[in-house]
Amino acid sequence: MKKIRVTLTVNGHTHLFETDPNRTLLEVLREDIGLTGVKEGCSEGECGACTVIMNDEPINSCLVLIGQADNSNIETIEGLAKDGKPHPLQKAFVELGAVQCGFCTPGMIMASKALLDRDPHPDEEQIREALSGNICRCTGYKKIIEAVQSAAEEMSHE
Amino acid sequence: MNNLRTVGKSEIRVDAWDKVNGSAKYVADFQVPNLKHGVVLRSSQHHARITSIDTREALQIPGVIAIVTAKDIPGEAIYGPIIADRSPLANDRVRFMGEPIAIIVADTVEIAHQARKVIEVIYQPLPAVFDPEQALQTNAPAIHPDGNLLSHFHVENGDIETGFNAADLILEESFSVPRIYPGYLETEASLALWDEEGKLTVWFSSQKPFADRHTISQVLGMPEDDIRVRMAVIGGAFGGKEDSNMAVLAALAAWKSRCAVKIVNTREESMLAHPKRHPARLYYKVGVKNDGVITALQARVYMDTGAYASYGPAVAQLLTETIPGPYHIPNVSADTYVAYTNSPISGAMRGFGSPQTNFAYESLMDMLANRLGMDAVEIRRKNIWKPGDRNFTRVIVNQAEALEEMLNRAAQSIEELKKIPPAPGKQSGVGLALAVQTMGLGRGVPDDSTHQLEWLPNGKVLVRVGAPDLGQGLNTVAAQMAAEALGIDYSQIETALVDTAISPDGGVTCASRMTYLTGNAVQMAAQKLIDSLVYEASRLLGIPREKLRYQDGTLIRTDQEGANPISAADITGRLAEEDKQIIASGTFSFPYGPEIPDHLPIGMPHVKFCLAAMVARVEIDPELGIIEPTHIVSINDLGKVVNPILAEGQIEGGIAMGLGYGLTEEMCLKDNHQWVSRLTEYLFQTTQDMPRNMETIMLEYPESTGPYGVKGIAEIATVPEAAAIANAVFAATGIRVHRIPIRREELAK
Amino acid sequence: MEAFDFLVPANLQHLATLLQTPGRKLIAGGTDLIPSLRQAHSLPAQIIDISRLRELRFIREQNRIVHIGALTSFRDVQNSRILNETAPALVQAAGQIGSPMIRTRGTLGGNIANASPAADSLPALLIMDASVTMSSQNGLRTLRLCEFLLDPGKTDIHPDEILTDIFFEKLPSNCATSFVKIGPRRGMTIAIVNAAALVGLDSDGRINQARLSIGAVAPTALRCRRTEQALIGNLPSEKLWESISSLIQEEISPINDIRGTSQYRRRAAFILSKRALNAATQSLQTRMQA
C-alpha cells in the first residue's frame, strides 16, 4: 500500500504528513495529531460523535478518507476557545446543564457551531434538524437545544 | 433544611469544562509509550462446539505479538458476578454470537485485524434456542450443564384463591418486552499495562473497579495488591458497564504479551457482547371488584438472560418485587423464571427489572379501568399505597404519601392535555403511568460504600469518591455534599477519579443508590475530618480542644475575644511540612435493620422505594400507525434535589431512553439469523423524535435515612414511558398493544 | 480497513484513463462506501477519489433543461435556487436524507449509482423523467434513469464509466410535484417507503399529467405507469386517489425486512401515494388560483 502525502490545516495549524490511505480523517485527527476530543462512536456516520467542521461545513470525520481531506481546513472542539476565552456554545453547554457524560458533547457543539455560523438566529425546529445526526443517550436533548438558543442569543449581541 | 449553601443549587458539574473543550480523557483517548493494540476474535456461531483454534498462520504475521486463548488462562477460568458460569475466552464451546474466543495483540489495529482474519476456528454447530419459554421445554438444547433454568423466584403474600373469589372481574393478559441495548455513546474500552515488576494497571470505563480488580486477580491467579484498576472519564454506562469482561481481556492480553495493550470495542461488538436489558414475557392474572379495588394478582414472568448469567438472578429478584407496581394488593403470587438461551447476555441495565413489569402492570391498570368504566386516575387512587402500607414483600413503603400528590398533579396534566385538539387528520390521546423502583442491592447483599476526604495543604478538600461517576454527575453531587457538610464553598472542593490503589471502596455505581450512599458516607467522613482538624490545630497551636470551635472551614478560638479565625489552610499547610495529612473516611451501609422481613432469598427484599408518575400525550397518524409523542410530564419524588439541573437532565435523558423502549428500540434476531448490531437498525431517539414539550416536576418528600432527605432518580426516570405511551395510544385509537416497541402494523387501519 | 492504494485523478480525462483498469472502486461522498468497506471481507486494490473533481459539481439550466453534476451534494441541492424552483420534490427529498453531516458529503451521483431500492432521490428524479449521462474514454452515453436502475445495488453503468450528469426538462407551469417519506423514526432515517408525485392540470382542472414513483417497494424505485394512466382525464379528488389502490398494489412487490413487513409497505405505499398526489394537486391549485 503506497503512502500518500496530506496537508491538513487543523484549528489554524498546518500539518504535513505521510500516511497510509486506508485511514479516515477521524483516525488521523485522534492518533496523529492527538486531538482526542474528536470521538469515535460508531464508525459509520450514525451517531455524530466524530463531527468536525471541514471547509466550513459539518461532516462525520469517520466517513472521510484522509486523502479526501487533503488541503482542507478542519475545526475541532479543541480549537473553539480563542485566547483562553470559551466559545459561547461551550459556555452555554456548561452553564445550562447540556453536558452529562460528555461523549457526544464535542460533536454536538461542532454541529451547533456549524449551524450558528451559517444561521445566527435558528428557531427550535432548525436547531433540532441541525442536530438530528448527533445522538445523545444521557440528556434527552432538551438542555442541549436550550444551550444552542442561549449561545445564539449571546452571539447576536457580540 | 433551610439555608443550605450548596445542596439544592445547580452547581456547575465538576468536569463540565473539560468535556466542552475536548480535554476530558476517556479510556480510548489514552496513549502510553509502546502501546500495543488488542482485537478480539468473536464467535460467529450462536451455539457450537469448538473443535480447534489454529493460530499458527496468524502468529507468523509481522507485528503480531501474542494471541491469547482459553488454554492460556493462568488462574480461575470461570467467573461471574453472581453465578460463576463464564470463561473470559471460550474454551470448547461458544454459547452466543459475539462470545470472545481469542485476543490478538499486535503493533497496530490493522495488523491485529489481518491476524484475526486468518485464525481458523472449526465449529461444530449445535442447535440453538432464543426464547426463554422454549428454552425451558424438556427437549430444548442444553446451554449449561445444569439445565436452562438459571433461577426461579416465588414470592407470595395473602391467599390468591380467596382474592380471586372476591373479585367481580378477572383479567388474564400477557405482555412482551424487548431486548434493549444500553447504548452509551462511549463503547467499552480497556487499557492494561504490565510493568517490569510484574504488576498490572488496568484502565477501564467501569461501574465497579474494585470488583473488576477481584475478577482479574482470580482469572490471572495474581494477588489483588498487584493489580490496580483506574477510571478515566466514563461516557455513559446505564448498567452495561457492570461487566468485567473487557477489563479481563485487556489484562490477559497485557499479561501474555508483557506489554501495554489497549482494546476498544467497535459499536457492533458492544451491541453483541455487553449486557443488555432482559427481554421478557409477562403473564398477569388480576382480580378486581366493581369499585376498582384489586383483590388478587397472580403473575408468571419468563426472562431471557442469554448465554451467561451475569446479573440475571438479581434482576429477576428486583423484577419480582415490582410485579404488583406501587399498589396495595392483599393477595399476590409471583413466579419469575430466568432462562439461559443462546441470545447475547442480558444483565444489569437501568431499571433492572422494573421497566419490564411497569409495562405490564400499568397497561393492565388501564385495561381494568376500561372494563369497569372507570377513569384511569380513579382506579389508581383506589389501589395506590397509602402511608403505612407494605409491599407484598412485607416491607414498609417509604413516603407513600407522595403518590397522592403525584396522582393529583397527573390528573391536572391529563385534563389540560386532553383539551388540545389533534392536528388535522390525526388522533390524539393522553395516557398515565405510575412507577416504582427500588434502591440498593437487597437484604443480605453487602451494600456498603466508603468515601474519603482529605484536607489539602492549600485549604481545599479533596473528595476521593469510592465509586465511579458514570457521567451522571456523582462526583459533582459528592462535592456539593462534602462542601455542605464542611460548611465551605463548592469551589473549594476537588474530586478524584476512582483508583483502586488510592481510593476507598465505594462499591458499584448502580441501583439508584450512589447519591444516597455517598452523601451519607461523606457526612460521616466530614465529621471525622473536622474532629481531626480540631485535634491537629490543638496540637500545633497549643490550644485546648474545647477552646476551638469549627465554623465553615475555619477554627474560632473561644478563649480569646476578637482573635482572628484560624483557616484550615493554616493547619494543613503546617501539617504538610511535617509530611502529615488530614484524611477521614466514612462508610455508610444501606440500612437493613432487624425489622426487615427475612423470609425471602438473599438479595430480597429491597427496602427503599422511588416513586413516579408520568403523563404522555400522543398524536397518531391513523392511516400509517405512526405515533408522535407531543407532551411528556414526568413527576418524580427525589426526597431532596441536590442539584436541580443535574436531576432534570437525568430525568429528561431517562425520558428519551424510555420512549425508545416503547417506540423504536429492539435488538432482535433478523431473518438472516444475525443480530441487530448496527445503529442503522437499532434506533435511538434523535432530536427529531423527542416530544417538543417535556415538563419535569420534582417533588421532595424527604427520606429520613437519606442525606438531606435524598432518594434515587437515576433509574425510575426511565421506567413509566412505555406504558404511558401505550395508554395514550389506547386513548387515541382504542387499540391495546401488548408488546413494545409498539408496531405500526398494529395501529394502521 | 484493509489496505488499498488511493488514486486521485486530476480531471475527468485522467479519471477515464484510470477506469480502464478494472476492479477499482470510486469514492465520492463516502457515506455509503466507507461503511461498506468496513463490512466487506475483501477490498478493491485501488480506490479512486473523485470527490474533488470540481467539474462534476454544478447546477445549471440551459434551454429549459436543468443539469445537475453527479458530485452535487445534497446540501447543495437544498440550497440551490434553481432546484428549489424547478425540482422542489428533489429538494424535499434531499432534506430528508440522513443527517446534516451526511447531506454535506453525500452526492446525488452516489445516491443514484448506489441504487438502493430505498434511496430518497430516486422517486423525486423519476417523476421528473430524469436522465443520466455517463462518461468514459469512449465518450458520453445517456440513458433514462428508469432504464439505468436495474436491481438493488445494480445499475447499467459500465465498469469504465462514471456518472457525470443528471438532467431533466423543466416542467410546464401547470404541473406541481411532491415528495413524502416515512422511516422507522423521524430523524436520520432510512425510508420504509418513499414516494414522489407529479400532477398537471388542464384549464378545466382535470389531470392531464400524472407521474407517480414509489421507492423501497420493489428491487428498484419505480414509476407506477398503469396507475398514472388511470389518473389521466379525471378530476382530482379523494375518491380518485382511493380508486387507484389496487393498481398500485399490482405494480409494487415489497419485501419484509427489519424496517417493515411487506404488508405494511403495501399499505404505506398507497397512503404515501395518495398524500403525494394530493399535496402536488393542492400546491398546483393554489398556484393556479393566485
CATH code for the domain in which residue C254 is found: 3.30.390.50
If 0-12 CB within 10 Å is exposed, 13-18 middle and 19+ buried, where does residue C230 land?
Answer: middle
| Cα distances (Å, whole numbers) of residue B98 to B89, B164, B266, B343 | 11, 46, 12, 10
Q: Which residue of B has its CA nearest to A99?
A: B16
pLDDT of A8 strictly over 60:
yes
Q: Which residues contact B579 (CB under 8 A, 6 or more apart)?
A: none
Q: How confident is the model at residue B2 (pLDDT cuts 50, 70, 90)?
A: low
Alpha carbon of C45 to those of A2, B478, B539, C6: distances in Å? 11, 55, 77, 9
Determine contact: B138 vs chain A, CB below 8 A.
Answer: no
Per the CB < 8 Å rule, is B680 touching C190? yes
pLDDT (average), residues B128-157: 97
pLDDT over 60 at B412, yes or no: yes
- pLDDT in the model for residue C1: 85
Residues of A in contact with B25 (CB under 8 A): 36
pLDDT of residue B3: 87
State the Cα–Cα distance between residues C283 and C290, nearest whole angstrom.
11
User: Which chains are adjacent to chain A, needing at least 3 Cβ pairs under 8 Å?
Assistant: B, C
Q: Is C53 on the interface with B (CB under 8 A)?
A: no
- Is A137 close to B686, i.e. CB distance below 8 A? no
Q: Report which of C262, C274, C202 is spatially closest to residue C237, judged by C-alpha positions.
A: C274
Residue ending a domain, choose from B203, B233, B265:
B265
Counting beta carbons within 10 angstroms of the beta carbon of residue B230, is it exposed (0 to 12), middle (13 to 18) or buried (19 or more)?
Answer: buried
Domain-terminating residue out of B234, B265, B296:
B265
Q: How many domains does chain B have?
A: 3
In this structure, the answer to whether residues B625 and B573 fall within a common structural domain is no
Residues C144, C185 within the same domain = no
In a domain, B290, yes or no: yes
In this prediction, residue B561 has a pLDDT band, given cuts at 50, 70 and 90, of: confident
Res B23 pLDDT > 60: yes
- The stretch C203-223 carries a mean pLDDT of 97
- Coil/strand/helix, residue C204: coil
Cα dist. B175→A127, B282, B360, B683, C180 in Å?
Answer: 38, 5, 6, 22, 34
Choose among A43, A64, A132: nearest Cβ to C99.
A132
pLDDT tens sequence across B217-239? 999 999 999 999 999 999 999 99
A63, amino acid identity? L
Residue B1: pLDDT over 60: no
Residue A19 has pLDDT above 80, yes or no: yes
Co-location of C134 and C222 in the same domain: no
Q: Most A CBs within 10 Å: which of B17, B687, B696, B698, as the mutation test of the A interface? A: B687
Taking residues C72-81, report their average pLDDT: 98
User: Could you tell me the CA-to-CA distances from C130 to B27, B575, C53, C78 in Å, in that order?
Assistant: 51, 83, 23, 18
Task: Look up the CATH superfamily of A4-79.
Answer: Beta-grasp domain (3.10.20.30)
**A76 interface with C at CB cutoff 8 Å:** no
Q: Where in chain A is the domain with CATH 1.10.150.120?
A: 88-156
Nearest to B745 among C185, C189, C263 (CB): C263
Cell 445537475 belongs to: C68
Residue ranges, comma separated, of all CATH 3.10.20.30 domains in chain A are 4-79
**Contacting residues of A for B231, CB less than 8 Å apart:** none
Contact A1 C5 (CB under 8 A): yes
Predicted confidence (pLDDT) at residue B397 exceeds the cutoff of 80: yes
> Are C43 and C66 part of one and the same domain?
no
Give residue B309's Cα distance to chain centre.
Answer: 17
Q: Are residues C244 and C273 in the same domain?
A: yes
Same domain, C149 and C132: yes
Number of structural domains, chain C? 3
- Chain A positions in Cβ-Cβ contact with residue B646 (cut-off 8 Å): 97
Taking the Cβ of residue B21 and every Cβ of chain C, the question of whether any pair is shorter than 8 Å is answered with no
Q: What is the pLDDT of residue B560?
A: 86
Q: How many other CB atoms sit within 10 Å of the CB of residue B591?
A: 13
pLDDT band at C43 (very low <50, low <70, confident <90, very high): confident
Q: Cis check for the bond before B591: say yes or no (omega within 30 of 0).
A: no
Omega before A21 cis (within 30°)?
Answer: no
* B569 and B717, same domain (yes or no): no
Q: Are residues B499 and B619 in the same domain?
A: no
Q: Residues B628-644: what's their mean pLDDT? A: 98
C115 lies in the same domain as C151: yes
The candidate with the shortest Cα–Cα distance to B438, out of B595, B274, B577, B322, is B322
Residue C76: pLDDT over 80: yes
Q: Which three cell numbers stand for residue B582?
A: 488530614
Please say whether the beta carbons of B618 and B627 come within 8 A: yes
Q: Apex CA B676: angle with CA B673 and CA B678, to 5°?
A: 135
Residue B680: domain span: 280-442+596-747
**Judgement on whether residues C245 and C268 belong to the same structural domain of the protein:** yes
| In a shared domain, residues C88 and C43 | no
Mean pLDDT of B683-692: 98
* Whether residue C163 is found in the same domain as residue C58: yes
Residue with cell 412487490: C253
Which among C8, C104, C188 has the least Cβ separation from residue A59? C104
Answer whether A132 sits within 8 Å of B16, measured CB to CB. no
Residue of A nearest to B643 (CA): A97
Answer whether B657 sits within 8 Å of A81, measured CB to CB: no
Question: Which residues of B are less than 8 Å from A49 in CB distance?
Answer: 185
Give the C-alpha separation, B515 to B519, whole Å: 6
State pTM to two decimals: 0.98
CATH number for position C96: 3.30.465.10
A56 touches chain C (CB under 8 A): no
C-alpha cell at B287: 382480580
Q: For residue B112, which residues of chain C lie inside 8 Å, CB to CB?
A: none
Looking at the predicted structure, is the pLDDT value of residue C26 above 60? yes
Task: Say if B59 falls within a structural domain.
Answer: yes
Question: Whole-number mean pLDDT of chain A?
Answer: 97
Q: How many residues are present in chain A?
A: 158
Number of cross-chain residue pairs from B and C with Cβ atoms under 8 Å apart: 45
Q: Do residues C195 and C160 both lie within one domain?
A: no
Q: What is the mean pLDDT of chain C?
A: 96
CATH number of residue B462's parent domain: 3.30.365.10
Last residue of a domain, one of C169, C202, C231: C169
* Chain A residues inside the 8 Å CB shell of B682: none
CB spacing of C185 vs B685 below 8 angstroms: yes
Q: What is the pLDDT of residues A51-95, one digit of tens each?
A: 999 999 999 999 999 999 999 999 999 999 999 899 999 999 999
Q: Which has the closest alpha carbon to B90: B98, B81, B100? A: B100
Chains touching chain B, criterion 3+ CB pairs below 8 Å: A, C
The answer to whether B268 contacts chain C (CB < 8 Å) is no
Interface probe for A, chosen from B12, B17, B19, B188 (most Cβ of A below 10 Å), is: B19
Q: Which residues of A touch B18 (CB under 8 A)?
A: 102
Q: B601 and B546, same structural domain?
A: no
Distance between CA B525 and CA A12 in Å, rounded? 48
Residues of chain C with Cβ-Cβ distance to A70 below 8 Å are 8
> Does residue A55 sit at the B interface (CB-CB below 8 Å)?
no
Q: Which of residues 164-203 of C touch B (CB under 8 A)?
A: 182, 184-190
Phi first, then psi, for residue B217 (nearest 5°) are -65, -35
**A138 contact residues in B (CB cutoff 8 A):** 185, 236, 471-472, 649-650, 653
- Report how many Cβ contacts below 8 Å link chain A to chain B: 178
Last residue of a domain, one of B541, B559, B589: B589
Distance CA B543, CA A72 (A): 69
Q: Which CATH superfamily is domain A88-156 in?
A: [2Fe-2S]-binding domain (1.10.150.120)
According to the model, what pLDDT value does residue B565 have? 93
For residue C32, list chain B residues with Cβ-Cβ distance below 8 A.
none
From chain B, pick out residues whose CB is under 8 angstroms from the CB of A128: 687-688, 690
Answer yes or no: is B540 within a domain: yes
- Terminal CA-CA length for chain B: 55
In the block, residue with C-alpha cell 470551635: B549
Tell me, yes or no, whether B154 lies in a domain.
no
Establish if B14 belongs to a structural domain.
no
Q: Is the pLDDT of residue B400 over 70?
A: yes
Is the CB of residue B658 less than 8 Å away from at least one CB of chain A? no
**Would B199 be classed as within a structural domain?**
yes
Q: Which of B109, B110, B92, B112 is nearest to B101 (CA)?
A: B92
- C181 → chain B, closest CA residue: B624
**In this complex, which of B28, B182, B655 lies closest to A40 when CB atoms are compared?**
B28
Nearest to B498 by CA among B470, B521, B525, B520: B470
Distance from CA of C53 to the nearest CA of A (A): 11
Looking at the predicted structure, is the pLDDT value of residue B425 above 90?
yes
- Asked if B321 and B418 sit in the same domain, the reply is yes
* One domain for residues B693 and B569: no
Cell of C267: 399499505
What does residue A21 show for φ and ψ, rounded to 5 degrees?
A: -75, -15
Outline where DSSP puts E strands in B481-607.
Answer: 493-496, 548-551, 554-557, 566-567, 582-589
Q: Which of C101, C185, C275 to mutate to test the interface with B (most CBs of B within 10 A)?
A: C185
B60: which residues sit within 8 A by CB, 6+ positions away?
none
Going by their DSSP bridges, the two strands B582-589 and B448-455 should be labelled as: antiparallel
Give the range of the structural domain holding residue C245, as residue numbers without chain letter.
175-289
pLDDT at position B749 over 80: no
Give yes or no: residues C193 and C87 share one domain: no
Asked if residue C194 and residue C224 are part of one domain, the reply reads yes
Contact C99 A114 (CB under 8 A): no
What is the average per-residue pLDDT within B34-53? 98
Whether B290 and B422 map to the same domain: the answer is yes
pLDDT averaged over chain B?
97
Instruction: Find chain C residues with C-beta within 8 A of B687's C-beta.
Output: 187
Residue B329 has pLDDT above 90, yes or no: yes
Taking the C-alpha atoms of residue B7 and residue B48, their distance in angstroms, rounded to an integer, is 55
